[in-house]
Amino acid sequence: MIEDKNQQRTPLSTLGEFALIEHLTKNFEISHSSTVKGIGDDAAVLNFDDKNIVVTTDLLVENVHFDLSYMPLKHLGYKAVVVNLSDVYAMNAEATQITVSIAVSNRFPLEAVEELYAGIETAAKIYNIDVVGGDTTSSTTGLLISVTAIGQVAKGEEVYRNTSKPGDLLVVTGDLGAAYMGLQVLEREKEVYKVNPNSQPDLEAYTYIIERQLKPEARKDVAKLLKDLGVKPTAMVDVSDGLSSEILHICKSSKVGCDLYEEKIPLDPTVITVCEEFDIDSTTVALNGGEDYELLFTISQDDFTKIKANPHLSIIGHMKDENEGVHLVTRSNTRIPLIAQGWKNFD
C-alpha cells in the first residue's frame, strides 16, 4: 500500500498509440497453428478448420470492478485475462487467443502500463494463449480494460446452459466464497490505511482468500479431468456472479428446478474462520459473493460413480421439474426459495 516515490515515469505521450502498442506487445509469442496472423495488421486471422469457435468478452472498469489502492497492476492484467478464459472453459472449450483493449488516463506513466501488460503476458504463458490484437485509447475516467477471448471446441463437445434435465446432479469445482472474503479483508485494511498511512497490515493469515481475489485462476483443468473420467456435463456455467445466480441461470435456460443442499457447499476452512471474524454467514457468502471462477455443471445420474470420490468436485444438489422451483435446503432441512443477490451491474 506504500507507493515507491522514486519510480521512473515515462509519459505515454512520448510514444504515441502505435509505438505504445508495439512496445507493450513485442514479447508476445505465437504458439497455436490456428493463429495465422496476430498483432500487426488491421485484424487477426485465425483458422479453426472443422472446430467450433467460442468468443467471449468482458469489460473491467476502475472503481467498479477493481480498486488500484490494493490491486497491483500486474495482478490486474492477469485477472483481466483469467476472468475471460473462465467463460471459454465453461463452454467445455480450449482457449487459444485473446485481444486486449485499454483506455488509460494521463495519470498512468508507461511503466504502470508495462506492469499491466506484464500480468497479461504471464497469464498468456501460463494458460497457453496467443495475444493477437487489441486497442489503446485515452480515458478521462480512470482505467478500463476489455479482453476478448477466443477458443475452440470439437463439434458436439460444446456444453451450454440450457441442456440440463430433471434428475441431473449439480456439481461444482473447488471451493466458494474465498474471493469475496478476500475483498472484505482488503477493504478493511484500506480503511485502516486511510486513518494511519504508516500502518503495515499483517495479512499472512489471509493469504489464500486474498489471492483468490487478486489473482484468481480459471479452471482450465476441468475439461480434461472430466474427459478422463468419461463424463460430459449436461450443462455448465462459470461461477462469476455468485453460486445462486449461476444456478438460476442454468435453471432458467434449461427450464428446470433445483434443490441445492447447504451442507454440501464446499468452503475452505479459512473462509469459515474469516466469516466468523466478520460476523458474516458463510453460506450467504458462498451463494452471493461471486468472483470464484469455479465451474458449476450438471451431469447425468449415471455418471455419479465416476465423480463421487473426486476431491476436486462436489455434488451439491440435483435438478428437478421446473414447476417444483429452485430451493436451498438448509442444514435443518428447511427449503428456502433461492434468489440471486450476487453481483449486479447498474445498481
Query: Grid coordinates standing for 88?
Result: 471459454
| Side-chain half-sphere exposure of 188, counting CA atoms within 13 A | 14
Neighbours of 329 (CB within 10 A): 17
Is 229 within 8 Å of 240 (Cβ atoms)? Answer: no
Res. 108: pLDDT tops 50: yes
Q: Which runs of consecutive H residues, i.e. helices, occur in the chain?
A: 17-25, 73-89, 110-126, 178-195, 207-214, 221-229, 243-254, 269-278, 282-288, 304-307
Specify the range with the lowest mean pLDDT, choosing from 186-195, 231-240, 262-271, 292-301: 186-195
As a whole number of Å, the end-to-end CA separation of the chain is 29
Tens-digit pLDDT profile for residues 4-39: 556 778 887 887 766 787 888 888 888 888 888 877
pLDDT score of 19: 79
- 269-278 and 178-195 are packed helices; what angle lies between their axes, rounded to 10 degrees? 40
Biggest CA-to-CA distance, the chain: 65
pLDDT score of 345: 45
What are φ and ψ of residue 132, in 5° steps?
-115, 5
Rounded mean pLDDT, 120-136:
95
Q: How does the average pLDDT of the chain come out, rounded?
A: 91
Q: What is the pTM of this model?
A: 0.89
Q: Which residues contact 335 (CB under 8 A, 6 or more apart)?
A: 259, 327, 328, 329
Rounded mean pLDDT, 175-204:
92
Tens-digit pLDDT profile for residues 53-98: 999 989 999 999 999 999 999 999 999 999 999 999 999 999 999 9
